[in-house]
Structure 1
Amino acid sequence: MTDDLFIQTIEPTTHDLGGFKVHRTLPSRPRTMVGPFVFFDQMGPAHLEVGNGIDVRPHPHINLATVTYLYAGAIDHRDSLGTFATIEPGAVNLMTAGRGIVHSERSPASERDKGPDLSGIQTWLALPERYEEIAPAFEHVPAARLPIVQSGGATARVIMGNLWGESAPTTVYAGTIYADILLEPGASIPIDAGADERALYVAMGEASVDGMKLEPTTLYVLRPGIAATLRSENGGRVVLCGGEDFKTPRHVWWNFVSSSRDRINQAKADWKAGNFPKVPGDDKEFIPIPEVPLTVSYP
């Protein structure tokens, strides 16, 4: 569906992972990227049984940055740099893979003991070509350091980039906007036209743009240059994301993103051969490379 406001509407592919669902809108057949965003997953919301949790075993990435943002619950992050960090709602974990990194994500023991909540957004950002092979890095930005904007009954946290006159401290490698917008019943907030590419996603509740209803778990790509107003009659939570238009395509295969197919093939061979570094404190398990990955780019 397209109109004067939107150039594209991307419905999710939904995977049931046992106890919780993941809704994936990027990459998709209709579109691979919105600004630097090349992967967009919503996890949950879900409440897992006592003693259960998520256990994403060590796995590799190259030539991208991962961004984890939670609405509820907590996740322990470990990586091959020796990082250990627990992310909680409202904070940001930014992991820059660069030339290669391995990480795991697991529910903390304290969460398993009470039955973990799981709700949040995981995204991957493509790196500009000049940064694809930089040294890997990890950055945790606490919720208290991310600016909050209040407007018309809406409360927006700026996760990355510059929005509504505020700037997040989170590192960016390309022009990037990313915000978590909480709308009280009857609230509204302007969506300006500043970025090359922008998209809106209703994670919870309901919302509309200039009177047009937005379906939940669907990514709406806004027409460039259009200013609009986001509203909610009954309350909702919306993601705004986007940034600069990449002039060269990115290839996605499993956990690998690159401007070069050859580089992805090299990463496949390196993971099969055990050439990636280990994750200190979580080096007994790993995710084997799949024959047919769930995450791929499309011609």
Structure 2
Amino acid sequence: MSNISLIIEEKAASIGKFMVGRLLPFRQKRMIGPFIFIDHMGPVKLNERENFDVMPHPHIGLSTLTFLFEGSIMHRDTLGTEIEIKPGAVNWMTAGKWIVHSERTPDYLRHSDKLMHGLQIWVALPKDLEQMEPEFCHINKEDIPAWTDGGIQYRLIAGEAFGRKSPVPVYSKLYMIELKSTTEQVVDLGKHLYGESGIYILNGAIQSEENVYAAKQLLVAHDSTLCTFTIGANTTIYIFGGEPFKEERFIDWNFVSSDKELIRVAKQKWLEQDYEGIKGDDTEFVPYPTFNTSLKTK
């Protein structure tokens, strides 16, 4: 029996004027470990009249992880953070009980041609930390653990695996790993993984038990400890996973929680605009959608 239990294809979704490929949540698989939301942004070319502009919007109950392959984003939030995200770095923002942030093309790039390509990820917080104070951490590319083994280049973007630990301050048992290979070879990761696991193919292909899987697919494993496959030449993949939570999670728009009442309170707070604005970006905001966005994760 194949160790691939589910194949999730990217589904087009809009984040304002920008289209992304949505991978999670999926109707048959709402979470992989604590990972509850994954968007693939781009690759897209923007001209001098086009910019990436995600206006101020709120979050609760999660951490966001922004990881770029190409391009640049200026992050601002209600903690007073203002920092540019560049390829290979990790932006890790923990919303906890409440945070508002915006993501835009930096001023110095707004009137030139530019590229945008990366991953936007949400990681649900453990139940006892859903109401923690918000935090922000930026990890430079050179501080992410990176090594080569058997001709494959590895980077441990977040969490713990392979006896290594990323400096990204996660709050549950998880991993996000990048693998790049220029040649075709067999990869056996079973002894290094735990909990639930999914493989996202950014480019190239992998083969598992005579089945070939191509780019823009997220493969969910039956058993992470049986994670063995053949990685194709010139292939880049990302492995997401970790220990799942016992409690159910709910999503309503940008809000994640195990408690529907916390989501209701956050929604009302945003509708009433009852919060301190973002310094340097407080003249507009993303309105709460008029359609019903609430859904369960299971």
**Same fold (TM > 0.5):** yes
Give, as a single letter, the amino acid of the residue that structure 2 aligns with 1:151: D
Aligned to 1:119: 117
Overall identity of the aligned pairs, in %: 35
5+ unaligned residues in a row in structure 2: which ranges? Answer: none
Structure 1 residues 78, 187: closer, same or farther in 2, change over 3 A?
farther
Q: CA–CA distance in 1 between the matches of 2:2 and 2:36? A: 24
Structure 1 residues 233, 63: closer, same or farther in 2, change over 3 A?
closer
Give, as a single letter, the amino acid of the residue that structure 2 aligns with 1:6: I
Aligned to 1:76: 74
Across the two proteins, how many residue pairs are aligned to each other? Answer: 297
CA contact (8 A) 1:149 1:164 kept: no
* 1:29 CA displacement: 0.8
* 1:115 CA displacement: 1.3
Aligned to 2:60: 62
Structure 1 residues 73, 55: closer, same or farther in 2, change over 3 A?
same
1:76-109 residue CA offsets vs partner (Å, 9 max, x unmatched)? 0000000001111111000000000000000112
1:227-279 residue CA offsets vs partner (Å, 9 max, x unmatched)? 33343333121110011111111101110000011111111111001113311
Q: CA–CA distance in 2 between the matches of 1:295 and 1:218? A: 25
1:121-270 to 2 correspondence within 5 Å? 121-193=119-191, 194-209=193-208, 211-270=210-269
Structure 1 residues 296, 54: closer, same or farther in 2, change over 3 A?
farther
* 1:210 CA displacement: 5.1
Higher mean displacement: 5-14 or 173-182? 5-14
* 1:157 CA displacement: 1.1
1:270-299 residue CA offsets vs partner (Å, 9 max, x unmatched)? 100111331111000100000126684466
Q: CA–CA distance in 2 between the matches of 1:168 and 1:298? A: 27
Are positions 1:21 and 2:42 aligned together?
Answer: no
TM (normalized to structure 1)? 0.93
Q: Alignment partner of 1:150: what SS?
A: strand
CA contact (8 A) 2:152 2:179 kept: yes
Aligned to 1:12: 10
Give, as a single letter, the amino acid of the residue that structure 2 aligns with 1:266: V
CA contact (8 A) 1:177 1:240 kept: yes
Structure 1 residues 257, 19: closer, same or farther in 2, change over 3 A?
closer
